[in-house]
A = this chain, B = another copy of it.
Amino acid sequence: MAVKIGVRRVHVGLANLDGHMKAKEVTPLVSHDPKKVVDQVRELVARLLAQCTPQEVIGMGICCPGIIDTKKGEVIKAVNLHWHHVPLRQMFSLHFPWPVFVENSMDTGALGEKWFGSGKDVQDLLYISLGNGIGAGIISHGELLEGYQHAAGEFGHTSIDLDGLLCPCGNRGCVELYASAPAIVRRACAYLEKGGETRIREVWDEGSEELTCEVIDKAARLGDPFALKLWQETGELLGRAIANLVNLLDPEIVVIGGGLSLAHPILLDTIAAVIWDTTASLHERKVEVRRAFFGRDSGLVGAAVLTIERIFA
Q: Are A148's CB and B252's CB within 8 A?
A: yes
Q: How far is the CB of A3 from chain B (nearest CB, A)?
A: 23
CB-defined contacts of A136 to chain B, threshold 8 Å? 248
**Stretch with Cβ within 8 A of B (4 or more), from A15-23, A224-232, A238-246:** A238-246
Q: From known contacts A141-B146, A159-B160, A161-B162, infer whether A152 and B283 are also in contact, taking CB-CB under 8 Å.
A: no
Q: Are B154's CB and A282's CB within 8 A?
A: yes
Give the contacts of A94-128 with B (CB-CB under 8 A). Answer: 122-124
Nearest-neighbor residue (CB-CB) of A163 within chain B: B161
Q: How far is the CB of A171 from chain B (nearest CB, A)?
A: 5
CB-defined contacts of A140 to chain B, threshold 8 Å? 140, 145-147
Nearest-neighbor residue (CB-CB) of A247 within chain B: B154
Q: Are B240's CB and A282's CB within 8 A?
A: no
CB-defined contacts of A152 to chain B, threshold 8 Å? 248-250
Q: Are A284's CB and B248's CB within 8 A?
A: no
Interchain CB contact (< 8 A) of A248 among B122, B154, B160, B280: B154
Q: How many copies of this chain sit in the oligomeric assembly?
A: 2
Quick one: CB contact mask for A154-180 with B, threshold 8 Å, 1 for yes? 110111111110001111010000000
Say yes or no for A278: interface residue by CB 8 A criterion.
Answer: yes
CB-defined contacts of A237 to chain B, threshold 8 Å? 162
Say yes or no for A257: interface residue by CB 8 A criterion.
Answer: no
Q: Are B150's CB and A250's CB within 8 A?
A: yes
Quick one: CB contact mask for A252-284 with B, threshold 8 Å, 1 for yes? 100000000000000000000000011011111
Say yes or no for A76: interface residue by CB 8 A criterion.
Answer: yes
Q: From known contacts A149-B250, A170-B280, A170-B281, infer whether A160 and B160 are also in contact, taking CB-CB under 8 Å.
A: yes
Q: How far is the CB of A250 from chain B (nearest CB, A)?
A: 3
Say yes or no for A13: interface residue by CB 8 A criterion.
Answer: no
Q: Are B148's CB and A250's CB within 8 A?
A: yes
Q: Are B281's CB and A169's CB within 8 A?
A: yes
Interchain CB contact (< 8 A) of A282 among B79, B252, B277, B278: B79
Nearest-neighbor residue (CB-CB) of A125 within chain B: B148
Q: How far is the CB of A300 from chain B (nearest CB, A)?
A: 24
Q: How far is the CB of A28 from chain B (nearest CB, A)?
A: 26
CB-defined contacts of A299 to chain B, threshold 8 Å? none
Say yes or no for A251: interface residue by CB 8 A criterion.
Answer: yes
Known: A77-B283, A124-B148, A154-B247. 8 other contacts (CB 8 A): A67-B282, A79-B282, A136-B248, A138-B248, A152-B249, A159-B160, A159-B278, A169-B282
What 4 A-B pairs have minimum CB-CB distances, sorted nearest first? A147-B250, A154-B247, A148-B252, A158-B244
Residues of chain A having any CB pair with chain B under 8 Å: 67, 76-77, 79, 122-124, 136, 138, 140-141, 143, 145-155, 157-164, 168-171, 173, 237, 240, 243-245, 247-252, 277-278, 280-285
Name 16 interchain pairs, CB-CB below 8 A, sorted by A.
A67-B283, A145-B145, A148-B252, A149-B283, A150-B250, A151-B250, A151-B283, A155-B248, A157-B282, A159-B160, A160-B161, A161-B162, A162-B173, A170-B278, A171-B243, A245-B248
